Amino acid sequence: MNTLHRTALLAAAGTALVLSLTACQGDGDANSAPTYGSSATAQSPSGKATDASGTTGPANSAGSGSSAGSGSSSGSTGSNAGGGSTKASGSSGSSGSASSGEQASASTPVCAAGDVRITAATQDGPPYTHIVLTAKNTSRHSCRLTGFPHIQFLESHKQDVPAVAKSKPEAPVVLAAGDPAYALVKLSDGGREENNEPVTAFSVMLAGDPTVIAVTAPGSEGIAVDPAKALTGYWTPELRNGADDF
């Protein structure tokens, strides 16, 4: 009987010990478990939601960064697309403008004798060694004045006055309605021993038109011309220093 009683007491004591250890372990787990509900509603001093450690929540940070990144990417794409479109349009416009300008110049008709009025005036003071021819577009349309004036001063000299190559302009001379062009013409060297002859009128022809235009010489007594010294410049929009000095 004593043995049975002792065994029962040991069993009861063991059971009590197990229950006590289980209870202690349960209390320790309960104290160490994180409180997820409180961390979801916690607010940082800045007003942003934070996790249990006090740092800004990763979900909110990722959301904010994603949104900003999306906006930046969209804005950048739009800017580049707009810039690319503008540049392409500008290049096309520039090319088109140059092309249309060349086509317009090539398609502009050559000035005929009926399109211009040619007058002559002396240049500088006596002795008058040069005159200036002015060809004014009197038509209602643009025209191209090409080459140089084909001048014959005297009936006894049927050849045209030679042209000075350095006075040739780089671009074609296109005259709008009412615009003038000029040509400098040398008459002589101004010496008394020259074979000068008086000229009160002379003839001019335009390149590409065989029509003879009669031009009155400037001055009441006309001009003195030495056929061996006479020279003419090309038609230009203005008289230029250097190229037209001869």
Instruction: Enumerate residue ranges in the chain where pLDDT < 50.
Output: 1, 3-4, 7-10, 17-101
Predicted local distance difference test score (pLDDT) of residue 245: 87
Dihedral over alpha carbons 164, 167, 170, 172 (to 10 degrees): -80
pLDDT one-digit tens code per residue, 125-173? 888 999 999 999 999 999 999 999 999 999 887 889 999 999 999 988 9
Predicted local distance difference test score (pLDDT) of residue 105: 67
Q: Which of 90, 138, 91 is nearest to 114 (CA)?
A: 138
On whether the pTM is more than 0.85, the answer is: no
Spatial distance between the Cα atoms of 8 and 11, rounded to a whole number of angstroms: 5
| DSSP secondary structure of 162-214 | PB-GGG--SS-EEEPTT-EEEEEEE-----TTS--EEESEEEEE-TT----EE
User: What is the distance of C-alpha 229 from the center of its chain?
Assistant: 48
Spatial distance between the Cα atoms of 246 and 226, rounded to a whole number of angstroms: 15
Q: Which of 105, 115, 126, 102 is nearest to 181 (CA)?
A: 115
Q: Which of 194, 180, 52 is nearest to 115 (CA)?
A: 180
- DSSP, collapsed to helix, strand or coil, labels residue 152 as strand
